[in-house]
Amino acid sequence: MKTLLITSALAASALAANGQSIKYPTAPKDATVDEYFGVKVADPFRPLEDDTCAATAAWVEAENQVTNAYLAKVPQRAKYLKRLKQVVNYEKVYTPFEKNGKWYVYKNNGMQNQAVLYQMDALGGAQRVFLDPNKLSDDGTVALKDISFSNDGKYFAYVISRSGSDWEEIYVMDVNTGKMLSDHIVWAKFTGVSWYDGGFYYSAYDAPEKGKETSAKNEVQKVYYHKMGTPQSQDVLFYQNPAYPLRFYSVSVNEEETMMFLYETGMDQGINIYVRNLRVPNSQFIQMTGDCSKNYSPVEIIGDTIYMMTNAGAPKYRMMVADINKPGYNDWKELVPESDAVLDNVTFVDGDKMVLTYKKDNCSQAYLYNISGKKIGDIQLPGVGSASFSGKRERKELFYSYTSYTVPSTTYQYDLATGKSTVMSAPKVSFKLSDYTSEMVYYTSKDGIRIPMFLTYKKGMKLNGKNPVLMYGYGGFNITYPPSFSAMRIPFLENGGVYAYVVLRGGGEYGEDWHLAGTKLQKQNVFDDFISAAEWLIGNKYTDNQHLAIMGGSNGGLLVGACMTQRPDLYKVCIPEVGVMDMLRYHKFTIGWNWAPDYGTSADSKEMFEYLKAYSPLHALKEGVKYPATMVCTADHDDRVVPAHSFKFAARLQECQAGQAPVLIRIDSKAGHGGGKPLSKVMEETADIYGFIMYTMGMKMK
């Protein structure tokens, strides 16, 4: 590789209305050329993949100087942050839950970086702090990822991540005394804690090479057993499968410690499950499922019966039951058949009852069943939005949280006898929720498919063709984003903005068929859906191409990158966040290989290589094109979608930009892919993004 040179000479950039040129830092380059099926593809910004080299570090610092200097002169940014600190500052109380005779609830007083876990002797009783994640770091960058109580009630394990990384650590404390114990696990990843016989199981990888913690490919995940009171060096390797290094493995044990499940994922769209009867001495795992393209999820165990949720034979999911004595899929029996809505979740409560939650047009519907699969009645929800239920088979209490685009998350207790919901905790906000409304509209995509879109805006909006609109989408991995409230959007909405969420193919909103219609050689459907939504908004006078912004994160960052390179004329502002931008090499970093079932890889076939290259945002950029104003967002500890994707895309976009619109890259520090990010950092990032959008569109802020 040639010696790398970088210049950090920066030009001060005036924010004139016509957009004065910015002098961007020169990115390190080399002469790398890859060959795919006889086709040579240059990758000149390959040096930016090495986030430990001095040249990359200098470029990152220089780019942040350019971005910070630009944003410092955006008047909307400071105003947005000031208003955020007002509208976000309200108490948030989450759904309570019971463990071993004690009650627990998460609560945020309004401006805390992380929610605090409180303990109560009885439901509604006096609250005392049980775990305050804000005390785990000075700046809130240590996030609580998961918790688990031992089945005997003695121990409490919690999983944390640092600076947004996917790498996880496990700590344990004594429930009765609150004393921290010596047990400490490092280099865990994508793990839970499953208790059994005085210890617990967890999933981990070998420690990575120093300096490569956030970029090295993760292979051969292992399941370990940790005995309480012993060092991690004595943990027993319980399971690994080196023959399949690119798969995930985990173990779970039910609370009664009668059954153990082994889960295998990463080889296709679904999962394989193995079960072991712990009541039988020296029992071995028996394979329950064999079609790894389908999803299977145990939701409850009663005696020998395993209640399962699956999309096998039912693209929109159904309930089935299996017997531990004959656990193979061919012996399962259907309990609740597939319906026209997508079965989303199952909650057992009060001994012999189940709450089945469905998604209908991405909004929640809930029904009460008995464990024989007979429907007992409907559960009336507060409105058209999303609900999440919480309960235990051993208890009569049933709770749910409800939210929508215009209703902050509110906790209800549901009375099984009367069918009535009672508010347990509702936020007291400092702005008028009644000022806003939300509607669902339908439009037709390029191939004639009907697509829903949610629009949220201030009442009284006029269809004048010039409203500022922010479109958001994801469209991948069977993931759904049901309606939910975010105070982060309020300053945009109260100043005349419209928030549009598009329900794209590739997600799970309408079941597995909808998901598969946006994968591999059908991925272009997702981009066409988003582009068609933009055209519909313009055609129906909501906005025009001078007042339309698009934003998305991760797979949604890919969405933004693909749409802005395919239709740069359609948008004023583009915000690709932590996006997958290099579709030819994504599978070579950390756990990128796990996305192959949705994307396919450049090594699969010449057809797949050509298809990926055609829409890959990095490779679709062309010199001489006027691209929209763009702010690429990433973070230094993102080991899910490594920053190299955003680095290379931003460097190439700056090189190609023929127009006057700015091309910035915002590189956050001590942050990762987004999960667990402290509130302070979320507000700063939100103010930067919305300030940039509003300034570019010419929006004034009160």
Which backbone phi and psi does 545 adopt, to 5 degrees?
A: -75, -5
Distances (CA, A) of 615 to 161, 338, 561, 622: 33, 35, 9, 12
367 closest CA partner among 394, 387, 393: 387
- As a whole number of angstroms, the distance between CA 88 and CA 108 comes to 11
Give the strand pairing for 629-635 and 573-577: parallel
- Mean model confidence pLDDT for the chain: 94
Convert 131-191 into a string of H (helix), E (strand) and C (coil).
ECHHHHCCCCCEEEEEEEECCCCCEEEEEEEECCCCEEEEEEEECCCCCEEEEEEEEEECC
Q: pLDDT: is 497 or 677 the higher one?
A: 497
> How far from 621 is each of 65, 555, 626, CA to CA, in Å?
24, 18, 11
Q: How far is CA 373 from CA 346, 391, 447, 511, in A?
A: 12, 18, 39, 21
Instruction: Give the span between the Cα atoms of 210 and 522, in whole angstroms.
Output: 39
Task: Identify the active-site residue in 554, 602, 616, 646.
Answer: 554
pLDDT band at 7 (very low <50, low <70, confident <90, very high): very low
With a cut of 80, say whether residue 609 has pLDDT above it.
yes
The length of the chain is 702
Segment 424-467, tens digit of pLDDT: 999 999 999 999 999 999 999 999 999 999 999 999 999 999 99
- Whether the CB-CB separation of 88 and 687 falls below 8 Å is answered with no
Does the pLDDT value for residue 8 go beyond 50?
A: no
pLDDT band, residue 670 (cuts 50/70/90): confident
Tokens of 365: 């519907």
Establish whether 673 is a catalytic residue: yes
Which value, in Å, is the radius of gyration of the alpha carbons in the chain? 26
Angle (deg, nearest 10), helices 54-72 and 679-697? 60
Q: CB–CB of 106/413 below 8 Å? A: no
- Give the CB-side neighbour count of residue 261, counting CA atoms within 13 A: 23
4 has pLDDT over 70: no
- The number of helix segments (H) and strand segments (E) in the chain equals 11, 39
Q: What pLDDT, in 10s, does the model give residues 373-411?
A: 999 999 999 999 999 999 999 999 999 999 999 999 999
- Residue 3's pLDDT is 30
Distance, in Å, from the CA atom of 474 to the CA atom of 507, rounded to the nearest integer, reads 7
332 near 321, Cβ under 8 Å?
Answer: yes
Q: Tens digit of pLDDT for each residue in 351-367?
A: 999 999 999 999 999 99
In angstroms, the CA 505 to CA 352 distance is 37
d(CA 479, CA 459): 30
Q: What is the pLDDT of residue 336?
A: 98
| Annotated active-site residue in 515, 619, 645, 673 | 673
CB-facing half-sphere around the CA of 132: CA atoms within 13 A: 10
Question: What is the Cα–Cα distance from 478 to 471, expressed in whole angstroms?
Answer: 20
With cut-offs at 50, 70 and 90, classify the pLDDT of residue 636.
confident
pTM of the model: 0.94
**Side-chain half-sphere CA neighbours of 9 within 13 A:** 3
CA separation for the pair 374, 376 (Å, rounded): 6
Read off the pLDDT of each residue in 282-297 and give the average, rounded to a whole number: 96
**pLDDT band of 17, cuts 50, 70, 90:** very low
| Owner of token pair 């944390």 | 160
Q: What is the pLDDT of residue 212?
A: 85
- Residue 306 has, within 13 A of its CA and on its CB side, a CA count of 28
- Is residue 180 packed enough to be buried (19+ CB in 10 Å), middle (13-18) or exposed (0-12)? exposed
* CA angle, 370 then 385 then 83, to 5°: 140
Are the C-beta atoms of 506 and 518 separated by less than 8 Å?
A: yes
Which residues, in sequence order, are CB contacts of 495 under 8 Å at separation 6+?
Answer: 694, 699, 700, 701, 702
Express each pLDDT in 158-189 by its tens digit.
999 998 899 999 999 999 999 999 999 999 99
pLDDT tens for each residue of 93-134: 999 999 999 999 999 999 999 999 999 999 999 999 999 999
Q: Over 50: is that where the pLDDT of 16 sits?
A: no
Label residues 655-688 b or e (16+ Cβ within 10 Å = b).
bbbeeebbbbbbbbebbbbbebbbbebbbbbbbb
Q: Is 200 helix (H, G, I), strand (E, B) or coil?
A: strand
End-to-end CA, the chain: 53
Burial of 417 (0-12, 13-18, 19+ CB in 10 A): exposed
- Whether the Cβ atoms of residue 521 and residue 122 lie closer than 8 Å to each other: no
Alpha-carbon distances, residue 178 vs 132, 228, 262, 468 (angstroms)? 12, 16, 31, 51
Query: With bands split at pLDDT 50, 70 and 90, how would you rate the model's confidence at 27?
Result: very high
Measured between alpha carbons, how far is 572 from 661 in angstroms, rounded to an integer? Answer: 9
Q: How many beta carbons lie within 10 A of that of residue 552, not counting itself?
A: 28
Q: What is the pLDDT of residue 13?
A: 33
Q: pLDDT tens-digit profile of 244-280?
A: 999 999 999 999 999 999 999 998 999 999 999 999 9
The whole-angstrom separation of Cα 205 and Cα 237 is 11
